[in-house]
Amino acid sequence: MDPVKKSLVSLHFTIMLLGGTALFSRVVPLSASDITLMRSIFACVALFAFLKIAKHKITLNCKKDYGVAVGLGLLMALHWVTYFAAMQYAGVSVGMIALFTFPVITVLIEPFFERVRLVWQDIVSTLTVIVGVYLIVPENTLENDVTLGVLIGIASAILYSFRNLFHRKHFKHYSGAQAMAWQTLIIAIVMLPVGSGNILNASTNSWLMLLLLGTVFTALPHALIAASLRHLRAKTFSLIACMQPLYGVFLAIVLLNEKPGWTTLLGGILITSASVYETLNAHKLHSSDS
């Protein structure tokens, strides 16, 4: 198999793993903050071990970058907590769809970070996402867990958008593994004081699930991404990354026996379509600027 095809297979596998992280919100009987704490600890150890074994640079280039890492870690900590909370309230299928409003949210807030302006197509994408969200919301009341989960998922998407924009502006010169190693360290430090005693009382199966989440479903994908990008264009990576909610929903249907309704699936198609369009458009604009 030639390097490009091998990288494509590896990337699809990577995105499937990232999509599978949502499943742990349902199979591990712990709070979103406890899951986030243990995920970050296991991922941090695995990522720093990978950097050491692969003889990659571990330290950052300057003191300023450590401050950036702290900021990114704080945003990721909040994103992960709200991410798992959204799945626990709304289910994996709906939670994943709500989270993937982030590409369009990114487009809306990007003008505050870079010299870009909104065009009418961005407004159409935004309206498409709004319709998609409307379709997946069952009731206009926070007393409904699914509705609450959707709102938490959108909050998670906003946090993720800010994190990605800050990362692209101040931290993109580091590999995925090195960047995530430092961010997971910050997440672990931040979340440690809010960890509950339920972690120590968790079953052996829960500990194995948390270990799997932190290593195979978190550390491994970020190590594989760096390898895949050696032979693939960034545009290809971004488009395949848009399949993450599809993989997440598929895994939830197969492994958790979730049964999303037609309105949920239609809303998911609208939101994912808008994400794909904005991804294509972003790369087109960046290509014309370069």
pLDDT, tens digit, 9 for 90 and up, residues 96-121: 889 888 888 888 888 877 777 777 78
Examine the pLDDT at 196 and tell me if it is beyond 80.
yes
Angle CA 145–81–189, to nearest 5: 160
289 has pLDDT over 50: no
pLDDT at residue 287 is higher than 60: no
Task: Give the tokens for residue 171.
Answer: 């931290």
pLDDT score at 231:
67
Which pLDDT score, from 0 to 100, does residue 64 have? 95
The pLDDT value recorded for residue 288 is 47
Q: Which two tokens stand for residue 221?
A: 């994908």
pLDDT band for position 226 (cuts 50, 70, 90): low
Q: What's the average model confidence in pLDDT over 177-187?
A: 95
Distance between CA atoms of residues 137 and 267, nearest Å? 9
Give CA–CA dist 272/129, Å, rounded: 8
Whether residue 235 has pLDDT greater than 50: yes
Give residue 187's pLDDT band: very low, low, confident or very high (50, 70, 90): very high
The string of pLDDT tens digits covering residues 253-275 is 999 999 888 888 898 888 888 87
Residues 110, 165 contacting (CB under 8 angstroms): yes
Write down the domain spans for the chain.
3-289
Q: Which residue has the higher pLDDT, 5 or 163?
A: 163
Say which residue the tokens 């600890």 belong to.
41
In this structure, of 169-183, 189-203, 220-234, 251-265, the range with the lowest mean pLDDT score is: 220-234
Answer whether residue 34 shows pLDDT above 90. Answer: yes
What sign does the dihedral 280-282-285-290 (CA atoms) show?
A: negative
Q: What is the pTM of this model?
A: 0.88
Burial of 257 (0-12, 13-18, 19+ CB in 10 A): exposed
Query: How large is the average pLDDT for residues 47-55?
Result: 94
Question: Hey, is 144 helix, strand or coil?
Answer: coil
Please give the C-alpha separations between residue 221 and each of 102, 180, 215, 228, 236, in angstroms, as whole numbers.
20, 11, 9, 10, 16
Number of neighbouring beta carbons within 10 Å of residue 286: 12
Mean pLDDT over residues 217-240, rounded?
74
Classify the C-alpha dihedral 271-163-15-98 as positive or negative. negative
285 pLDDT more than 60? no
